[in-house]
Amino acid sequence: MAPKVLVSDKLSETAVQIFRDRGIEVDFRPELGKDKDALAEAIGEYDGLAIRSATKVTPSLLEKATRLKVVGRAGIGTDNVDKEAASKKGVIVMNTPFGNMITTAEHAIAMMFAVARQIPEASASTHAGKWEKSKFMGVELTAKTLGVIGAGNIGGIVCDRAKGLKMKVIAFDPFLSEEKADKMGVEKVELDDLLKRSDFITLHVPLTDGTRNILSKENLLKTKKGVRIINCARGGLVDEEALAELLKSGHVAGAAFDVFAVEPATENVLFNLPNVVCTPHLGASTTEAQENVALQVAEQMSNYLLDGAVENALNLPSMTAEEAKVMGPWVKLAGNLGSFIGQLTDEPIKAINILYDGIVADMNLPALNCSVVAGIMKKSNPDVNMVSAPVVAKERGIQISTTNQDKSGAFEGYVKVTVVTDKRERSIAGTVFSDGKPRFIQIKGINIDAEVGEHMLYTTNEDVPGIIGTLGGVLGKHGVNIANFTLGRAKAGGEAIAILYLDGSLDQNVQAELAATGLFKQIKPLEFDAV
């Protein structure tokens, strides 16, 4: 069945066309972004949801999203998506981090000019037939200090453009290295320093718990008298009430805001104050940017839904379509190894160690890790997938570590998963043969060669005669057909393992009868996703 995508915000038609061209069913219903009840009613039908900033992806919406696999944000900010809730539900969240950055930086620069020269008010006054030439005295930008809060993609472009305007640019960004700041030709400063020195302050950080209210009343009071503040990032970064007071008192000379704490903003304390320029979240609204983000989000969502390629995901490591093709069998192997060992482990898991050797050590290991962990977690939580598994593991305090090396002898590469509990450590290794099929190659240090089967029975015992006969006898008596089997042992008379491939799931009675023979140390039916 073709995947189905809902577009619930005003995206360019390009997105719809791309989905259709890729064979994805698509419903374009931008009105749903503003109607959370209607959206909740519709969402159950869809595998993908393409949005901008109007649609709010909340835990209650996700609860109704029984088929949903991907949320694609045609834009940058994803503060309207509850990413933790999405991860828990196994829904991947992706954005388009570059498509609208130039456009948004240009808007910030335009807003800086607008507030420096009071262009909107002067324009309205001129339209009204007044000729108030002496009322609108502005300030020059040249040689003024611009304080940039957040020097990432957009902030970086703003820095570059501002330098072109001959401004002195200082930046506060804890993640900006001195080297990068040097290269950008900006001075890296602490926030207090930026507040004290800037003639203009522009914000370019995402809205997170760390940035919310970054321009609080306390911080606004630290600014230089006559400062002008530009916010084209997110409402919630600036204390609007405090700013309004400081504008009225004349401490702040002007503000230019594109984003507001509550949107759509039909009323706000900043409205109608002198020298406050407002636009209705237009930062990304150019033809060019909207084409870019629509095209990119539709391609990314299609690649994920059709080929499992992961690009620009905020809650899953990236994997290109090319990588997904090469890594596909290894991702499957990783999941099977996790599932095998997860099904064997009945006690709480403390740690998972994953060893990658040979060719696999050069692959996209974060993605493989997710697959191993998802396989392990499936036992206790059948709905877990690559997106939600690391969250579930973290919630349970499970430590995950990886090692990569290049020592493989007999195999081009292999993966070994070790699970640590209070009682023991268990490990299993596997590889991918040239036929592209995953194989288990070592269990408990014993070499075997076992393919993955949908219904398997795993037993361990002391290496004595008669084991296979007993297994065959008991299973035969209960009408369970053995399609195949494979054996391994440490040494003659030592520990031995058997893996039987069955035509169906194993009944509890059969297990009890095998246990009653006293021949087996462990009897574990194992189930794998259809292979």
Residues identified as active-site = 234, 263, 281
131 versus 175: smaller Cβ distance to ligand NAI: 175
CB of 158 to ligand NAI, least distance (A): 9
Binds 52: which of ligand HPV, ligand NAI, none (CB < 5-8 Å by kind) = ligand HPV
83 binds ligand NAI (CB under 6 A): no
Give the number of residues written for the chain: 531
Tell me the helices (H) and strands (E) count for the chain, helix number first: 17, 22
431 binds ligand HPV (CB under 6 A): no
Cis amide prior to 264 (ω within 30 degrees): yes
296 binds ligand HPV (CB under 6 A): no
Q: How far apart are alpha carbons 216 and 236 in whole angstroms?
A: 10
110 binds ligand NAI (CB under 6 A): no
| Subset of residues 29 to 48 that bind ligand NAI, contact rule: CB under 6 A | none
513 in helix, strand or coil?
helix
32 binds ligand HPV (CB under 6 A): no
What crossing angle do the helices spanning 321-344 and 287-307 adopt, rounded to 10°? Answer: 50
Residue pair 63/41 in contact by the 8 Å Cβ criterion: no
Closest of 243, 245, 255, 202 to residue 219, by C-alpha: 243
207 versus 420: smaller Cβ distance to ligand HPV: 207
Q: Which residue is nearest to ligand HPV (CB)?
A: 75
Q: How far apart are alpha carbons 396 and 384 in whole angstroms?
A: 14
CB of 282 to ligand HPV, least distance (A): 7
Among 151, 170, 284, 333, binds ligand HPV (CB under 6 A): 284
Assigned token pair, 97 = 């981090």
Q: How far apart are alpha carbons 246 and 273 in whole angstroms?
A: 11
CB of 28 to ligand HPV, least distance (A): 16
* The 455-462 sheet, strands edge to edge: 482-489, 495-502, 455-462, 520-527
96 versus 336: smaller Cβ distance to ligand HPV: 96
* The 413-421 sheet, strands edge to edge: 399-405, 349-358, 413-421, 425-432, 438-443, 446-451
| Subset of residues 49 to 108 that bind ligand HPV, contact rule: CB under 6 A | 52-53, 75-77, 100
210 binds ligand NAI (CB under 6 A): yes
Q: Widest CA span of the chain, in angstroms? A: 107
DSSP letter for 110, please. H
Among 3, 48, 99, 155, binds ligand NAI (CB under 6 A): 155
Q: Using the rule CB under 6 A, give the single segment among 245-253, 276-284, 472-480, 522-530 that binds ligand HPV.
A: 276-284
Residue pair 12/291 in contact by the 8 Å Cβ criterion: yes
Q: Which residue is nearest to ligand NAI (CB)?
A: 152
Q: How far apart are alpha carbons 342 and 426 in whole angstroms?
A: 10
Residue pair 446/384 in contact by the 8 Å Cβ criterion: no
CB of 221 to ligand NAI, least distance (A): 19
Kindly write out the interface string for residues 142-181 of this chain, putting x where it contacts ligand HPV by CB under 6 A and - elsewhere: ----------------------------------------
215 versus 349: smaller Cβ distance to ligand NAI: 215
Residue pair 263/88 in contact by the 8 Å Cβ criterion: no
156 versus 358: smaller Cβ distance to ligand NAI: 156
337 binds ligand HPV (CB under 6 A): no
Residue pair 90/383 in contact by the 8 Å Cβ criterion: yes
Binds 150: which of ligand HPV, ligand NAI, none (CB < 5-8 Å by kind) = ligand NAI
145 versus 296: smaller Cβ distance to ligand HPV: 296
Strands (E), 182-279: 187-188, 200-203, 227-231, 252-257, 276-278
269 binds ligand HPV (CB under 6 A): no
Kindly write out the interface string for residues 241-280 of this chain, putting x where it contacts ligand NAI by CB under 6 A and - elsewhere: -----------------xx---------------------
Binds 261: which of ligand HPV, ligand NAI, none (CB < 5-8 Å by kind) = none
Burial class (CB in 10 A: 0-12, 13-18, 19+), 245: middle
Q: How far apart are alpha carbons 282 and 109 in whole angstroms?
A: 13
Among 19, 172, 440, 520, binds ligand NAI (CB under 6 A): 172
Q: Which residues bind ligand HPV (CB under 6 A)?
A: 52-53, 75-77, 100, 281, 283-285
Residues binding ligand NAI (CB under 6 A): 75-77, 97, 100-101, 104, 149-155, 172-175, 204-207, 210-211, 232-234, 258-259, 281, 283-284
